[in-house]
Structure 1
Amino acid sequence: MLENHKIWIIFLFLLVLTGCSTEDTTPKSQDASKATNGGELVISSVREPDTLDVQKTTWVDNANVHLFDYLIGRDMDGSIIPGLVKDYTIADDGKSWTFHLRENVKFHSGEELTAESVKASMERFIKQSPVNFLAGPITGVEASDKSTLIVNFSEPYAPFIAGLTSIYLSPLDPAALKSEGDKFGNKPSGTGPLLFEKWIRGDSITFVKNEQYNWGPSDAENKGGTNVDKVVFRFIKDENTRMLEFNQGNIQIMLDVPPSSVKTLENTSGVQLHKLLDNGLTYLAINNDKPLFQDPKVRKAINLAIDRNQIVQYAMEGYAKPMYGPLSPTIPGYSEKVEKMAEQMYTRNVEQAKQLLHDAGWSNVNGNGVLVKEGKQLSIELLLTEEPVMQRIAQILQNQLKEVGIDLRITVQDDSTIRTNESKKMHDLILWQYGWSDPDILYILFGKDIPTRLFSTPELEELLIKGRQTMDEKARMAVYERVQELLVTESPWVPLFARERITAYRDIEGFKVNPYKKIVIQDIKLKKQQ
C-alpha cells in the first residue's frame, strides 16, 4: 500500500508560529494611513546573492527566492502545504515518490509548467548544484504524463521532503535556460510572483509584479501577483547607513536589524519588529584534517575557553540563545537532553581548558602567554565575513582564547573566498552559520562524502546514513539523538548560538514571515499617508 500524503489546499489565516520563537512588537502610536495597491516596496539586506540561479549557489535568501515557487511549501506553523505539487505518495519501500502537479501554472516566459519541465530542472540540479546531495540517491526521474512526476531512489531517503520545501529544487523556466545557458543567473526566470527586471551589482536588485500569477500558496491570503508593482532589494552592509535609510523612510523593510538598534526601533513611532529564532546555528567550523585539531584535547579546550553567554550579551545584545549542542531548538529532532549534557560539559572553564592543552603537550615557555609545542606557537587563524556582528563576535573570541594561551588571528574575507578555502581545507577555523529545516543538516555538515565535511567516524557515518534511510519519524529522531550525543562527546566544532532574526518594517500592511525566514511577499501593501 502506498503511503498517501494528500495536501489539501485550504485558506489559512495568519497563525501564531509554533516550534520556534516569534514576536511582533507594536509601535507606540499608529500613523493615520490606508493600505493601497501599487507602488514600490524597498527591502534592505546585508547580504547580496552571488547569483540568482538557485541551482548554482549554496545560500538562498529573500533576495533570490521570490522568482520561484516551492514544489512543496510550509505554512506559518511549519506544516507541509501544497506548492506546485498538490499531492504526493511514497511507496512502501520508500524508494519511489510520485508527485501530482498543479495545472495552469506558467513560467515567466509563458511556457506551461509540466512534469517534463520539472524533470529537466531536477536533472539539472543533480548535475550542477553545489548542494546536489540534497536530492539524495536518485536513480531516475520520470514524467509519466503531463502532470505526474515519479522520482526513484536506490534506497529510502527521508530528507527528500526538506529538499522539496527548499527553493533549491524549484522548477526553472526551460525557455530561459535554453536562451541564457550558463548566464541564466544574470537573467533568471521561474514561476514565482516576481519577475526579474535588473541587477546593479553591489547596490540593488529590482523585481516587478508577475501579472499572470494566480497560484499562490495557502500561507498567502493573496493568491495572485504582488499588491505592489515593484520590489527592490538594496544591499547595505554598513549598519549606520541602513538605520539612516530606514528612519528616513527610504526603506520599508529592514532585514537583519543590528542588535544594537533594536531598542531604539522598539521606541520609534510607526515601526514594528518581527522576531524569529533561527532554524540554525552560528558556529566555529574546525578543520579537523589538520594535525593540530585531530587531538580531541585541543578541540575540547577551545570549546571550554569560550563564554557563549558573553558573546550573546555583548555581540548580539541578548538577541540570541546560547547553544552547546548541534541543533537549534526549531529543528525537528532537537534533543533538550543532549543540549543540557553539552552545556554541562562545555560551560566556560578556563582552568580545565588550560589543563587539557597542557595534557596535549602545550606549555608557556616564552612567557608571553601564547602556548608553545615543539617550538611552534599555538596560533590559529579565524576566517569570517565582513558582517559587523561577525567581527564583534571574532574580537570576543580572540580575547577569550587568549586567556587559555591561544593566539587567534582574525581574517576578514568575502563569502566566495571563504568557501574556496573551506573546500580546499586551507583554513583553521571559520565563523560560520547554517540554516535548515531537517536534522539531516548533520549529514550535510558531517557526512563522509560531503567535500567540506567537518568530521567523521565510522559510528557517526553509519548513524547519519541510517537517519537518511529511516522513514518512520519516531525511529528517525531517535537516531539523530544518538548523533547529537556523539558530536557533543567528540567536540569536532563549536556551536555558539541560535540567532534571533529581527526584521523591522514600517509604512506597510500584511507583513508575514514563515518559519524559514521567507517573507510572504504577495500580501504586503504600502500604506498611503493621509
Structure 2
Amino acid sequence: MAKHTRRIGSLATIGLSVTLLLAACSGTTGTKPSGTEPSASPGKAEATTGGTLVIAAPVEPDTLDPQITTWLDNTNNQPYDSLLSRDMQGKLVPHLAESWQVSDDGKVWTLVLRKDVKFQSSGAPMTAESVKASIERFVSISPSKDLAGPIDKIEAPDANTVKIYFKEPFAPFANMLVSSFLTPLDPERLKEKGDKFGEAPLATGPFMNPEVKRGASVSYVKNPDYNWGPLYADNKGAPYVDKIVFRFLKDDDTRILEFKKGTINILQEVPSTYVKELEAIPGTKIEKSLEQGMRYLGFNNQKEIFKDVRIKQAIAMAVDRDPIVQVALAGFAKPNFGPLPPTIPGYSEKIENMAKEMYAHNVDKAKQLLAEAGYTDSNGDGIVEKDGKPLSLELLLPADPALQRVAQILQAQLKEIGVDIKIAVHDIATVRDRTTKGNHELFLLFFGLNDPDILYLLMQTDNSRRVHYSNPKVDELLVKGRTVMKEDERMKVYEEAEELLVKDPPWVPLYVNETVTATRNIEGYKLNPFTGDIPLADIKITK
C-alpha cells in the first residue's frame, strides 16, 4: 500500500510542510477521483499480472526507516503495514490488529493482533512482543515521537495482545495506529541493523527488499506471501506486479517527457499547465484529489500591529480567493475560509459559512476597519499610515512557484486597501528559522494533519511556532479536544475552538490544493481519501 504524497514532519516543522500522517477524515473529504478516459484509445488493453510498475515521485526519501524519517510518503512506505486503517468512508477499521478497545477512562488502548501475519523473507510470525518493541523504538528515537502522545508503558500480556497505557487520555492516538510510524518491524533485522535498519528494512508490507540508487530511484519487489491487505483494497493478497520503481525526476519537463514516452505509469503532482496535454495521450487517466491540508496567510501575532484584531480582519477582507485559485493555481484548488479544510476531521460547515460571511471580499469594509484602527491615506500615495508611519509589511514565503504567484496576487489585493506588501522569497530552511524565531510579519505556508489536533499543534500557546498565537480560551478547548474520546463530543469541542479562531484570526485561510496524478497503461488505481493510500497491490499493467 502506498502513501500518496504524505509528507510527515516533526513538530518543529508543522505548519511548514504538508505534514503528517495518518488517517481520519470525517465529514466531507472533498476528494474526487476523476478518471478521464482517453478519447483516442484504440481499444482497451488486456491487463496482465507481473511486470514493473514505474512511478515518478516528486521527492526522494531521506531514509526507508519509518521511525527515523521526517518525510513519509509512498516512496519509503512500501515495506510496511499499519495496525489499523480507514475504509473509503473514513471509518476506523482493522488491519494488522483485528480489533481494538479503549478503556472507559481513555488511558488504555488494547490491540488484538491477527495471527496469520508474517515478516517478509524470514516468515517469522508478527507477535505482540514485536509490536511492543516497535512502538517503544518509535517513542525512543523518532523525531516525531511527540505525536504518539503521553505513553506511560506498553505491555504484551500474550502473543497476540498489546496494551498501551497513557498518562492521560489521548484521542489522536487512533491516527498514529493508522500510520506507518508504529508499523511492526522485524525484530531480528532490528537487532542486526540497529540504527541502520533503513538500509535493509523488513516488516510485513506488500513490497520488500528495496534497492536504493541515490539521486535516481528506489525499487521494491513484491512480497509473495502477502495475504493481509487492507479492507479497502480489492486484492488482499500478493501484488499483481512483480516490482515497483520510484524514479526521482526533479525537472518537470523531464518528468512529462518520460510519461509521454510511456516509461512512467504513474506521474504524481502533475503541473496544472500540463493536464490537458496529458489527457489526450491514449491510455492516460487524470486523477484529482484534495490534499489533507491547507495553504494560509499567517500573521505573526506577537507583533504589535496584529494585536489589533481590526488589522487582521481588514487583511482577511481584502483577500479575494477566486483569482488566487483560477489564476495562480489554474483552478486546481478549492477556496477555504475556516480554520480547517473539508479534508480534515473537525471541519464544520457552520464554521466555514460563518467565516465566509465575515471575511467575504469587501474592500470598503476593510478600509473602514483600518480607519477605525487609525490608519488612513493622508498624503494620497495609496498607502495608509498612522502617526506618519505607512502600513508596510513583509510577506515571507518559500521558493515555491505556485506560492510566489499567490503572493503577487495578495500583494495587489492588499494594495487596494492601502497596505504595502514586500515579498521576500527564501529557501525553506530560512523560512523555518525566521518564523520559529518570530522574525517575520506575514508569511505563506501550508499544513496538513488528518486530525483536528493540528489546531493544538499550530495554535496552542506553547506549540504555536509559526503564527505565535496565544488565547487562553482556545488553549483550554484544544487541550480538552485531545482528551475527549467520544468522536461526536470531541468534534463539538473543536467547533467551539474554531469559532474563536474565526473571530480572532491568527491567519487567513486561503485554499486547499488539488493534487493531480496522471496514470498510463494500468488498471486498478485508486486513492483512499482518508488515508492517502494507493493500494498498489491492486494495480495491473495493461501494456
Instruction: Normalising by structure 1, report the TM-score.
Output: 0.88
State which of 482, 489, 502 in structure 1 corresponds to 2:503. 489
Q: Decide which moves more: 320-329 or 355-364.
A: 355-364
Deviations 1:352-398 (A, max 9, x none): 33444454455657876555667576231322243x33332233223
- 2:406 partner letter: I
Shift of 1:420: 4.4
SS in 1 for 2:171: coil
Match of 1:500 in 2: 514
Match of 1:314 in 2: 327
State which of 468, 488, 491 in structure 2 corresponds to 1:474. 488
- 1:154 partner letter: K
Distance in 2, Cα, partners of 1:451 & 1:238: 35
Match of 2:345 in 1: 332
| Mapped pair 1:26 → 2:37 | yes
| Mapped pair 1:382 → 2:396 | yes
Aligned in 2, Cα 1:280/1:132: closer, same or farther, shift over 3 Å? same
Distance in 1, Cα, partners of 2:394 & 2:286: 39
State which of 42, 47, 60 in structure 2 corresponds to 1:35. 47
SS in 2 for 1:87: strand
Distance in 2, Cα, partners of 1:370 & 1:113: 66
CA contact (8 A) 1:97 1:152 kept: yes
CA contact (8 A) 1:444 1:453 kept: no
State which of 494, 508, 512 in structure 1 corresponds to 2:526. 512
Aligned in 2, Cα 1:293/1:126: closer, same or farther, shift over 3 Å? farther
Match of 1:8 in 2: none
Deviations 1:93-143 (A, max 9, x none): 221111011224233462542222222222232233343333222221111
Aligned in 2, Cα 1:191/1:88: closer, same or farther, shift over 3 Å? same
SS in 2 for 1:34: coil
Q: Decide which moves more: 363-372 or 254-263.
A: 363-372
Shift of 1:524: 0.8
- 1:245 partner letter: E
CA contact (8 A) 1:137 1:154 kept: yes
Q: Decide which moves more: 234-243 or 97-106.
A: 234-243
CA contact (8 A) 1:123 1:141 kept: yes
CA contact (8 A) 1:18 1:77 kept: no
Aligned in 2, Cα 1:490/1:254: closer, same or farther, shift over 3 Å? same
Match of 1:281 in 2: 294
State which of 193, 205, 213 in structure 2 corresponds to 1:200. 213
Shift of 1:318: 1.6
CA contact (8 A) 2:322 2:335 kept: yes
- 1:327 partner letter: L
Match of 1:395 in 2: 408
Match of 1:12 in 2: none
| Mapped pair 1:65 → 2:77 | yes
Aligned in 2, Cα 1:152/1:323: closer, same or farther, shift over 3 Å? same
Aligned in 2, Cα 1:226/1:73: closer, same or farther, shift over 3 Å? same
Shift of 1:79: 2.0
CA contact (8 A) 1:278 1:499 kept: yes
Distance in 2, Cα, partners of 1:399 & 1:408: 11
RMSD over aligned Cα, in angstroms? Answer: 2.7
CA contact (8 A) 1:365 1:371 kept: yes
Distance in 2, Cα, partners of 1:448 & 1:300: 21
- 2:336 partner letter: M
Q: Decide which moves more: 207-216 or 360-369.
A: 360-369
Aligned in 2, Cα 1:280/1:369: closer, same or farther, shift over 3 Å? same
Task: Could you tell me which runs of 5 or more consecutive residues in structure 2 were left unpaired when the two chains were aligned.
Answer: 1-26
Distance in 2, Cα, partners of 1:74 & 1:511: 17
Shift of 1:316: 2.0
SS in 2 for 1:118: helix
Match of 2:536 in 1: 521
| Mapped pair 1:431 → 2:444 | yes
State which of 148, 158, 161 in structure 1 corresponds to 2:171. 158
SS in 2 for 1:170: coil
Aligned in 2, Cα 1:361/1:199: closer, same or farther, shift over 3 Å? farther
**Residue identity (%):** 49
Distance in 2, Cα, partners of 1:426 & 1:196: 45
| Mapped pair 1:81 → 2:93 | yes
CA contact (8 A) 1:304 1:349 kept: yes
Distance in 2, Cα, partners of 1:218 & 1:195: 21
State which of 282, 299, 319 in structure 2 corresponds to 1:269. 282
- 1:478 partner letter: K
Distance in 1, Cα, partners of 2:138 & 2:248: 27
Alignment: residue pair count: 510
Distance in 2, Cα, partners of 1:107 & 1:426: 49
Distance in 1, Cα, partners of 2:214 & 2:362: 46
Distance in 2, Cα, partners of 1:372 & 1:47: 44
- 1:520 partner letter: P
Aligned in 2, Cα 1:349/1:83: closer, same or farther, shift over 3 Å? same
Correspondences of 1:85-100 after superposition (within 5 Å)? 85-100=97-112
CA contact (8 A) 2:457 2:464 kept: no
CA contact (8 A) 1:401 1:408 kept: no
Distance in 2, Cα, partners of 1:368 & 1:243: 46
State which of 61, 65, 68 in structure 2 corresponds to 1:53. 65
CA contact (8 A) 2:435 2:466 kept: no
Match of 1:118 in 2: 131
Aligned in 2, Cα 1:36/1:140: closer, same or farther, shift over 3 Å? same
- 1:503 partner letter: T
State which of 239, 243, 267 in structure 2 corresponds to 1:230. 243
Shift of 1:304: 2.1
CA contact (8 A) 1:39 1:230 kept: yes
State which of 80, 97, 117 in structure 2 corresponds to 1:105. 117
Shift of 1:514: 0.6
Correspondences of 1:184-263 after superposition (within 5 Å)? 184-263=197-276
- 1:521 partner letter: L
CA contact (8 A) 2:118 2:125 kept: yes
Correspondences of 1:295-306 after superposition (within 5 Å)? 295-306=308-319
Distance in 2, Cα, partners of 1:247 & 1:365: 58
Match of 1:10 in 2: none
